[in-house]
Structure 1
């Protein structure tokens, strides 16, 4: 449990701000911020200028990237210590995702793997961090709906959205049946749909506000008409009393 606390306390220091995951092959650039080697390389490959994604400091020329050996060792030791710690009082409760490899009373899953696909507790997860065959497997927060994110035909994670067929597909689907179709990454499509939803919600909100404003103006006008009518009646009544 102490190791978990150490990881939580160092979360910002060992997390890549680009992929939002624990640093892999960490490199520290001249401004002092650290990123995964692959993440910062891809970021600069796609940018017009070389700048820090975190503080926006711009470099006149692309800096040479050297692995931060010390930071890399710290992360490895923290992971090893955390994963080897006994998961006491960590049994799955109501609403938790259970580890699929525990026998008897099951522990709570720490991560779900979209590549496997399966969910793992601390003890059974360690090969994904240390074992070469599992390198590159996609780990996500515990998910009880893994089957919905897996291609039924190929048993691979759904990573692509086929715009032509309006469906989520895996990489095997791309090769075997969707070649030539218009496709985007699933995350890109999700972000686009989110933007569209936010725009729609904004339009609805603006329409409701306009209707509310119109309703208030109508009520105010009706109230003024009512007050004006009462004043006229009072005037007529008083005038009648005087004439008598």
Structure 2
């Protein structure tokens, strides 16, 4: 069990002070009762056994670089990122939102404070349990790479026809968690996404126009194919495969 120790006097308070919780993904860690993750006057001492009970390696992984967190900073939504990764992400996207979810969007860029509690735990665990992600997760010959990984690219597990972009397992999570992305059309990883987009509207080709014998998007249906005989592209493709057998 951890204790809060005053660094200036070196005197232990001699009682349990971990009454608050620090949220990291789906796990919770005991935190100093001052409730300030960046507190410079107190440090939390966690044993290795305690830390391993509460967290897994995923909890220490930055969802931007997909490596172990370095100089971790936490957003109010509970997600943690490397300080440099989050800063670079905001610089490139030109908007300040959480890279992992859609629930946190800042009108102005907030000042970021290092999460000393999480940083201390990571330093301790790095010596024994934490390691880089397994090499089989990285993109290899014939794989489709994730469009959102920085540095070493991870292989994509899904491509989104709505975005359009390809995502590794970690960067795909917002599509399952965020209400705004849940209705996007996900398919198996595809390196030729542009071929599945309407050249005119840059929307996914989801409809087959039987009148014009062409694949079209929903915008085409409204603007150019009104009254034509149509069907869903996937259904038409399956029926054609059956008839060709």
TM score, norm. by length of structure 1: 0.45
Which structure's CA Rg is the greater one? 1
Say which structure is richer in strand: 2
Task: Answer 1 or 2: higher relative contact order, Cα 8 Å, separation at least 6.
Answer: 2
Say which structure is richer in helix: 1
